[in-house]
Amino acid sequence: MLNALDDYPIHQTPEPVAVPATSDHDFYDRYWFNGYNDEGSHFFGFGMGLYPHRGILDCHFSSRVNGELQHCFYASRRAPQERTETEVGPCRLEVVEPLRTMRLIIDDNPSGLACDLTFSTRTSALQEARQILWRGTRRHMDNTRFDQFGSWAGTISTPDGDIDVTGHRATKDRSWGIRGVGERVQLGAPKMPGGIFFLWAPLFWDDHVTQAIFFDGPDGQPHCREAMRAPLFDGPGDVPAELADVLTHYAGAAHRVDYVPGTRLAAGAEIDLLELDGTVRRVVLEPQMRFHFRGLGYLHPEWNHGMWKGDLAVGGESFDPDELNLLALDTIHTQQMVKVTDGERTGVGAMEQLVIGPYAPHGFADWFDGAAG
C-alpha cells in the first residue's frame, strides 16, 4: 500500500502513509473553501474529501449569485491508492505550493458548472483546538482543523453565465480525523443522537482576520469555544512560515443569535471576543445572502460525504433556496455572508450555522422546532 508520499520522512506510525492510525470507518481527510465578494451578491464553495476505510474520494462545488438559484456540481469515485491523486472525474485540486497556493479546475460537465481558480493565502495557517464530541463512550467526532484566509483569481462558468471571481475573499478549511460520514449502519444497541449548536465565523477586517468557533451541547454547555486573530498580509510571499509571532488567541468568546421566526436561521448575531486584559470586543454580524451546505454534500440525501456512488459518478442540481423548508435535515446547515462591525472598524465574512435538536439557551425544545415569532 505504498505511495509517493512514503518517500518523504513524514510517517507518524509504523504503517505506510495510506494506512490511517485508526480503523474507525468514519475517518476522513478533507479540503474545504468558500469565496465571496464584498458586496454580498456572490458566494461559492468547494469541498473534497477522502474516506480511506470507505474507499471513496468525492467532491462538491456550488455557486449562488444575487439571491437566485444555487447551482451544484457533485462527483464521487473509488479512492485511488496514491494520496497525491486529488482528481474526481472532471474535477482536480492541485497543491501548487503547500500552505500558500492551490488551484481548482472543473472541466465542462453536465451540471453546467466549471471553473479554473487559484487560491492564494493572505494569512498563516490558524490551527483550531482539537474538537472532540462524545456519543456514549465513543468519540463521535475527533478532528484537527486549520484555516487560512486569502483571495481568489479566475473564472466560474455557471448556467447563468461566467463570473470573474478575481479579488473575491477566500477561506480555506483543512481538516482530518473522525466524524459521521456516508451511509449510517446500525451496530448493536441504538444510541439516541445528541443535539448540537455549531457556529463558525471567519471574518476579514482591514489589516487582520478573526476566527471564532463554537460547539455547544443541548443545555449550552461549551464543548469547544475558541477565538483567535492574525495579521492579514498582501499575498503568499509576505506570509511568515512561523505562527508564534503572528497568531493571538483570545481569552474566551461568547455568542448571541437572533433567529428568523419559525426557523433556525440567524437574522443577526453578536460575538464577544474576550481580550487577554479582560476587555471585550463586541462584533455585530449582519447577514446578507445565504448559501445552503446541501450544495456541498452536507446531509444531502444522495450526495452526502463518503457515500458509495460507484467507481465514478458525476451529477448536479439547481435549487431555489427560497423554496426550501428551512427546518429540514438537509437544508438546516447554512453559511451566510455577513457585514461586521465592532463599533470602530467594519469588515466582511461568513457565518456558518448548524443547530439540530434541543438547545435551551435559544429556546429550542425539540429536534426541528423553529424560533418563536
CA distance 174 to 49: 10
CATH number for the domain including 216?
A: 2.40.370.10
Beta carbons of 155 and 115 less than 8 angstroms apart: yes
Name beta bridge partners: 118.
103, 153
Where is average pLDDT lowest: 130-144, 184-198, 276-290, 297-311?
A: 184-198
Q: What are the cell numbers at 114?
A: 466549471
Q: What are phi and psi of 264, to 5 degrees?
A: -120, 25
Mean pLDDT of 324-340: 97
Beta carbons of 150 and 122 less than 8 angstroms apart: yes
Does residue 244 have a pLDDT over 60?
no
- Give the pLDDT band of residue 119 (cuts 50, 70, 90): very high
Whole-angstrom CA distances from 90 to 3, 15, 97, 108, 365 are 23, 32, 22, 7, 44
Mean pLDDT of 30-46: 97
How many C-beta neighbours within 10 Å does residue 328 have? 12
| 357 secondary structure, DSSP code | S
Residue 166 lies in a domain: yes
Does residue 243 have a pLDDT over 70?
no
Look up the pTM and report it: 0.96
Beta carbons of 203 and 213 less than 8 angstroms apart: no
Residue 16 lies in a domain: no
CA distance 308 to 313: 9
Residue 373 lies in a domain: no
Mean pLDDT, all residues of the chain? 94
Q: What range does the domain containing 99 cover?
A: 29-182+193-362
Mean pLDDT of 15-44: 95
Number of folded domains that form the chain: 1
Residue 1 lies in a domain: no
Provide the pLDDT for residue 246.
78
Residue 187 lies in a domain: no
